[in-house]
Amino acid sequence: MNASESPITLETLNTEEMMERIPTLVYLSLVMIIGIPGNALVILIYFGSLWKLEGSHWTFIRTITIVDFLICIIIIPFEFYQQTHQLTFYAESACKSFKVISVHLSAMASLLLVMMSANRMYRIWWPLKVPLSSRQALVSVIILGIFVTAVSWPEGKLSGINLKQRKHNITGYDCGLEDRYKRTIYPFAYSVVLLVGFVLCVSSLITMYAIIWNKLRKKDYFRSTSSAHSQIEIPVESSVQTVVLEDESSVSNNKTVSQKIKGKFSGSSTKSLQRQRNTSQRNRESRKVTKIAFVISIAFILSYLPFITVKMVSSLSKGQYMSDSFIEAIIPILSRCFLLNNIINPFVYVCLDQTFLIQCKRVLLCRHRCNLY
């Protein structure tokens, strides 16, 4: 080594590692910048002005929003810190804790989406049965949280400080798989369990929405055919005109009968029209809720497909990828594409829920006016 060359230290090597992960750091920064204010706005609206929306669907929506917000303020900053400390991560307890929380929140978000979709399928397949109440949905969420806690617990046992040997006999410290479990079957078995779980979530969502689509298609066909055969109007005036006046002395009595007939027909037609309007409004609301759940599920599937693909390829190749700078830069991003699922929901609500859009405008305009004063 020349005297002019600076000595190679662990911090120098860590900086080199960090520079290679600039694309991943930019990606995580963008996700965090978009996700935190977006989910905070959703929480402000659904727990504020739209708190009056009741039902199991809105309980699931609010819970998913909380989970998404926690991922944006806990998991993504942890991922960012880990990417910048690939060789200088010394806090083992923090490593274990954040790894468990990461698995817990990711699994919770996935299974909540499955529960919400199953609830939509139940409401569409059996519309006359008693729907799941908000309280029952909340109890289901609590039970799910306990189950996910049990599933994510092994991650804390397997995670820890991973020693990395670098050039010049320098040892780095990374948050990953603990060294004592590297030569055991436990990490592989646990990864397979999580991977199979995510694949089952994706498969169940595809199956449920295929069933929902088929049921709605049949309902639309039945409604269109039945309405075509039942468009028989009863003219009120003709019914009144069938009253025959036999005698001049009975004119006043027949006028009274005529008014009663008119009142009866107009009252029944008004009630029928009101029932039709209420039914139409409920159908529109149900379709809007189903459309929102469907789009959120599609976003979940698309965001998790790269993650599942990377995990499968990694398992088959035992973690060995082609030695290419582009692949080395893109693999960390692809394996974290599932984070997009936690920031896209606010955009879905804005595009598909007119009530939510109106409340967003009110909140943002109110904040703008407050800043002006």
Chain segment 150-189, per-residue pLDDT in tens: 999 999 999 999 888 887 788 899 998 888 888 889 888 8
pLDDT digits (tens, 9 = 90+) for 200-211: 998 999 999 999
Residue 121, Cα to own-chain centre: how many angstroms?
Answer: 16
Look at 204-208, 305-309, 347-351, 359-363 and tell me which has the smallest mean pLDDT.
305-309
- Rounding to the nearest 10 degrees, give the CA dihedral for residues 98, 41, 143, 302: -70
User: What is the predicted pLDDT for the residue at 281?
Assistant: 63
Percent pLDDT > 90 in the chain is: 39
> Nearest 10 degrees: CA dihedral of 237, 240, 245, 249?
-110
The pLDDT of residue 247 is 45
pTM: 0.79
pLDDT at 152: 93
* Side chain identity, residue 22: I
pLDDT at position 258 is 52
The CA-atom distances, in angstroms, between 182 and each of 174, 177, 185 are 14, 7, 8
How buried is residue 272: exposed, middle or buried, by Cβ count under 10 Å (0-12/13-18/19+)? exposed
Measured CA to CA, the distance from residue 88 to residue 173 in angstroms comes to 5
Q: How confident is the model at residue 106 (pLDDT cuts 50, 70, 90)?
A: very high
Of residues 260 and 241, more confidence is placed in 260
Q: Which residue has the tokens 């028989």?
A: 232
Q: Which long-range contacts (CB under 8 A, 24 or more apart) does 133-137 make?
A: 133/55, 133/56, 134/54, 134/55, 134/56, 134/58, 134/59, 136/56, 137/56, 137/59, 137/60
Alpha-carbon gap, residue 175 to 160, rounded angstroms: 6
Q: Residue 249 pLDDT > 50, yes or no? A: no
Tokens of 186: 């436990």
Q: Spell out the SS3 assignment of the chain.
A: CCCCCCCCCHHHHHHHHHHHCHHHHHHHHHHHHHHHHHHHHHHHHHCCCCCCCCCHHHHHHHHHHHHHHHHHHHHHHHHHHHHHCCCECCCHHHHHHHHHHHHHHHHHHHHHHHHHHHHHHHHHHCCCCCCCCHHHHHHHHHHHHHHHHHHHHHHHHHEEEEEEEEHHHEEEEEEEECHHHCCCCHHHHHHHHHHHHHHHHHHHHHHHHHHHHHHHHHHHHHHHHHHHHCCCCCCHHHHHHCCCCCCHHHHHHHHHHHHHHHHHHHHHHHHHHHHHHHHHHHHHHHHHHHHHHHHHHHHHHHHHHHHHHHHHHHHHHCCCCCCCHHHHHHHHHHCCHHHHHHCCHHHHHHHHCHHHHHHHHHHHHHHHHHHHC
Task: Report the length, in residues, of the chain.
Answer: 373
- The pLDDT of residue 251: 46
At 127, the pLDDT band (50, 70, 90 cuts) reads confident
For residue 199, pLDDT beyond 80: yes
Whether residue 262 is predicted with pLDDT greater than 60 in this model: the reply is no
| The predicted structure's pLDDT at residue 253 | 53
Give the pLDDT score at 280: 62
